[in-house]
Structure 1
Amino acid sequence: MTVTAASSLRHAMTHAGRPGPAQWTNLDGRVTLRTLILIRWIAVIGQLATVATVQLVMGFPLPLGPVLAAIGASVLLNLVAMAQRGGRLRLADRDAALYLGYDMLQLTLLLYLTGGLANPFAILLLAPMTVAAAILSRYSVVLLTGLNLVCLTVLAMWHFPLPWPEPMPSVAPLYAFGIWLSLSVSAGFISGYVFRVAEEARRFANALSASQVALAREQRLSSLGALAAAAAHELGSPLGTIAVVAKELLHDMPPDSPFTEDVALLQSQVMRCREILAELARKPEADGGDPFERLPLTALVEAAGAPHRLGHIQFTVERSDGSVGEEPIVRRSPEIIHGLGNFIQNAHQFAGGRVTVAASWDAKSATVVVMDDGPGYPAHLLSRIGEPYLSARSERSGHMGLGIFIAQTLLEKTGALVAFSNNRSGGARVVVRWDRGVLEPED
């Protein structure tokens, strides 16, 4: 019974923090201990300088014993923290939150001893929370913001008088409430705003890293394709020589020779090798493996969509009737192949039965439009399509995700403009447009 109760308690403790994120106990923290140690040393130096100025220069009476004890506790904890591998330790989210929580409580104690919210330095209570919002998870930021509001409320209700050489009239209750309210609102606004900005920066950094990985993979595939094409070309000559020699041997060999079957087998295997090399050379990965090889725009679209075709989806690449002039001859770059391929794959994923890619051009620009007959983009998210990690849900109506961001980033790298919309008859529509001078540069 005791074991069962202990097991239940462990399970409850493990899940009690939900919906707290996994980062709460993640050992791969976003901040090093050295950074927080440096911030605390700056705070300690500022606190000592303020105490010395107020007590010695201005002559205001301070409860020096408790004040110096509070500052000394921070000094002691910082020295202990420095002993942990010189501060090079990366803190888990929980440990960093506890570290900043202590700083908030220590500053609250100093303000309690020196006038509470009437102390002009009370605004510094927002500093630890701002640091937390920039580096910690949402769960930790919410907890520390709550702690900050508790500290502000305590200081508004209980505190020692503000150190002053002569008696001061007590602050009007309404004015004191205004100070508390302004600091509380500032705490909520700053924590929310800083966390949102920092989280967006982290998301974009992660998404750009993912796009670089995708581009590197496409470049490796292109290199392998070029190598395969070169190998097929180079091996063709020696295999042709072997085939000629085998044919001559078979022709000159008597019918009853014991080596007739072996030579015939050799000849058949040579033919098989030549077929394999010919097939390898015909594959899109090898045929356009060289990123500097040029091909028509419609052929480029065909190559981008070839790996993503599904048997039950009708896939069509067409030239728009409004095209004017000669078709652009463009480089088969990994960015364009992977970017258009992602959009075509996304269209196949959500299409009801048809995906159409229309290419058009004139003297100034070239455009590729990817359309499907699926549910289209959600209207309330249409203006945000292309942002990384737009939604964690995977409904079929989503048309969202990191893949769209990667595709847009890669195509914009080639000078393209990407726009998202819905067709009037239903389905999603992606328009990719280049200036011909950018897409079709002169050699």
Structure 2
Amino acid sequence: MSIQRDITAQSASFRPERADWLRLRTLIFQRWMASFGQLAALVVASRYYEMELPLGLCFFAVGLAIIANLLSIFIFPQNKRLTETEAMATLLFDLAQLCFLLFLTGGLTNPFALLVLAPVTVSASALKLRSTLILGTLAAIFVTAIGLFNLPLRLADGSIFRTPALFSFGFWISLLIGIAFLGLYSRRVATEMRLMSDALLATQMALAREQKLTDLGGVVAAAAHELGTPLATIKLISSEMIDELSEHPDLAEDARLIREQADRCRDILRSMGKAGKDDLLMRQASLTTVLHEAAEPHTTRGIEVIFTVSGTGAVPQVLRRPELIHGLRNLVQNAVDFANSKVWIDAQYTPDRIMLRIIDDGDGFPPQVLARIGDPFVRSRRDEQDLSRRPGYEGMGLGLFIAKTLLERTGAELSFANAADPFLSSAERPERSGAIVEVVWPSAAILAESVRGLGENQPITG
């Protein structure tokens, strides 16, 4: 059962386009801050430092930003989310307005030239790569242009404020490097955050689905138990009616049909779940039973699954938590997917801890991705052979990430390794030659407390 494939598709349906995450209100607020900062800088430079600035053109440039903000506020609703094109156009306007203002105030001799990095950083965090490359390229062109052509800053005595050529060249280079570095850095961080967010969403959906399946099993079990007595009564009475209506074949046939339908109801309930109460006893099971339950969907896929449970004393009773079942099931699925013929599930228990190893006889984890196992969306094992063996499978990264996240919630520690050197020949490789996933719990984390008697049936709500 490949639940993570369904979860991936479902989480993708909830995921908006990248630009749709960016609200117009955010960029409006950012533009207000920039406009007030630009006005303050112009006033201080002209009044306090008595610099000769083309204030008319400078206020015109700031006024353009203010007008654009006012139009955006009056035309669009506050909850407007920008499309890719709209977000890129907005950031491009901010970049052009800032560079025009820098052109009027000394170009790269103006220390506020550093602010050209802001639109590129926002684009790298929220927009697609194509938009970021376009914006970054234009930013580099604008920076170069205002470095070569600008209205110089004039001091109070009319002299031109100049910086050493080496300093101007170094500042230009630093801006270009900053555009590239901050763009790449911001995009990398934002991408990893989005991947982690998507993976955690998929994990929550997987856990919710497993919880629903567990709850459904409890409801069916409770229904089978509660309906057992009335169905038995119906069957008993219908059998007596058949004997008493022997002289009336038509009525006897109806009574026989009632008995058959009662038997059918009993069989349907048994096929849907085990009879019993939805009580505390059903929330725990032996370690062996839990392992078999987790691996059950993958034991009929042509790969032999071998279970070994050993330890001191009786086999412990563990909590049948949905995250435990689903996490182990994903690990078993990954082992079966890549095994050649066998998968071993070895469990060892002591009074202090429970250790589980899942080993397959496949090729093992590729060395280049071994350190990244457990991160979401690792697809390096998806080669041409995988495409033929597992068409439509989304890769091992999300499944193992879900398994690792869910099992760590139960208090487990996971480690991933290979059972043999992947560069050995077929004749030199041992039988257990594939990947090893080791899961270790402190006993107190998953052992169930002793429960006596049947608990009360829980009311069914919702």
Match of 1:230 in 2: 222
Q: 2:316 aligned with 1:331, yes or no?
A: no
The one of 352, 356, 373 equivalent to 1:368 is: 356
The one of 39, 50, 56 equivalent to 1:48 is: 39
Q: 2:206 aligned with 1:214, yes or no?
A: yes
* Contact 1:310/1:348 (<8 A) preserved: no
Distance 2:78 2:233 in 1: 69
Distance 1:304 1:290 in 2: 20
Would the alpha carbon gap of residues 292 and 41 (structure 1) be closer, same or farther in structure 2, given more than 3 Å must change? farther
Distance 1:422 1:27 in 2: 38
Q: 2:419 aligned with 1:429, yes or no?
A: no
Aligned length in residues: 415
* Contact 1:355/1:372 (<8 A) preserved: yes
Say which structure, 1 or 2, has more relative contact order (CA 8 Å, 6+ apart): 2
SS of the residue aligned with 1:386? coil
Give 1:255 deviation, angstroms: 5.1
Would the alpha carbon gap of residues 204 and 288 (structure 1) be closer, same or farther in structure 2, given more than 3 Å must change? farther
Deviations 1:44-78 (CA, angstroms, capped at 9, x unpaired): 00001110111122211101121111111111111
Match of 1:408 in 2: 404
The one of 387, 397, 404 equivalent to 2:375 is: 387
Give 1:238 deviation, angstroms: 0.7
Distance 1:338 1:34 in 2: 41
| Uncovered stretches (5+) of structure 1, i.e. residues with no partner | 1-24
Would the alpha carbon gap of residues 64 and 361 (structure 1) be closer, same or farther in structure 2, given more than 3 Å must change? same
* Contact 2:152/2:160 (<8 A) preserved: no
* Contact 2:338/2:360 (<8 A) preserved: yes
* Contact 2:53/2:153 (<8 A) preserved: no
33-42 or 252-261, which deviates more: 252-261
Give 1:252 deviation, angstroms: 2.8
The one of 415, 420, 441 equivalent to 1:419 is: 415
Match of 1:197 in 2: 189
Distance 2:23 2:71 in 1: 15
Would the alpha carbon gap of residues 328 and 104 (structure 1) be closer, same or farther in structure 2, given more than 3 Å must change? same
Give 1:263 deviation, angstroms: 2.4
Distance 1:243 1:275 in 2: 13
55-64 or 291-300, which deviates more: 291-300
The letter for the 2-side match of 1:406 is I
Give 1:324 deviation, angstroms: 2.7
Would the alpha carbon gap of residues 195 and 289 (structure 1) be closer, same or farther in structure 2, given more than 3 Å must change? farther
Give 1:93 deviation, angstroms: 1.9
* Contact 1:37/1:87 (<8 A) preserved: no
Distance 1:216 1:400 in 2: 21
Distance 2:104 2:37 in 1: 17
Give 1:378 deviation, angstroms: 1.5
Give 1:287 deviation, angstroms: 9.2
Give 1:288 deviation, angstroms: 8.7
The letter for the 1-side match of 2:353 is S
Distance 1:63 1:120 in 2: 18
Distance 1:61 1:311 in 2: 81
Give 1:134 deviation, angstroms: 2.3
TM-score (norm 1): 0.87
Distance 1:141 1:148 in 2: 10
SS of the residue aligned with 1:102? helix
Distance 2:193 2:76 in 1: 29
Q: CA RMSD in A?
A: 2.4
TM-score (norm 2): 0.84
The letter for the 2-side match of 1:207 is A
SS of the residue aligned with 1:258? helix
The one of 320, 336, 339 equivalent to 1:348 is: 336
Give 1:392 deviation, angstroms: 8.3
% same residue = 38
Distance 2:73 2:161 in 1: 45
Q: How does 1:147-166 map to 2 (within 5 A)?
A: 147-166=138-157
228-237 or 119-128, which deviates more: 119-128
The letter for the 2-side match of 1:153 is T
Match of 1:137 in 2: 128
* Contact 1:309/1:315 (<8 A) preserved: yes
* Contact 2:109/2:162 (<8 A) preserved: no
Distance 2:282 2:128 in 1: 45
* Contact 2:210/2:326 (<8 A) preserved: yes
Match of 1:297 in 2: 287
132-141 or 212-221, which deviates more: 132-141
Would the alpha carbon gap of residues 383 and 301 (structure 1) be closer, same or farther in structure 2, given more than 3 Å must change? same
Deviations 1:164-211 (CA, angstroms, capped at 9, x unpaired): 234357433333211111121122111111221122112111111111
Q: 2:113 aligned with 1:125, yes or no?
A: no
Give 1:387 deviation, angstroms: 1.0
Distance 1:226 1:155 in 2: 71
Give 1:274 deviation, angstroms: 2.4
Would the alpha carbon gap of residues 432 and 289 (structure 1) be closer, same or farther in structure 2, given more than 3 Å must change? farther
262-271 or 164-173, which deviates more: 164-173
* Contact 2:363/2:434 (<8 A) preserved: yes
169-178 or 62-71, which deviates more: 169-178
The one of 300, 308, 325 equivalent to 1:318 is: 308
Match of 2:423 in 1: none
* Contact 2:45/2:51 (<8 A) preserved: yes
* Contact 2:61/2:97 (<8 A) preserved: yes
Would the alpha carbon gap of residues 440 and 275 (structure 1) be closer, same or farther in structure 2, given more than 3 Å must change? same
Match of 1:67 in 2: 58
* Contact 2:298/2:333 (<8 A) preserved: yes
* Contact 2:317/2:448 (<8 A) preserved: no
* Contact 1:100/1:132 (<8 A) preserved: yes
135-144 or 409-418, which deviates more: 135-144
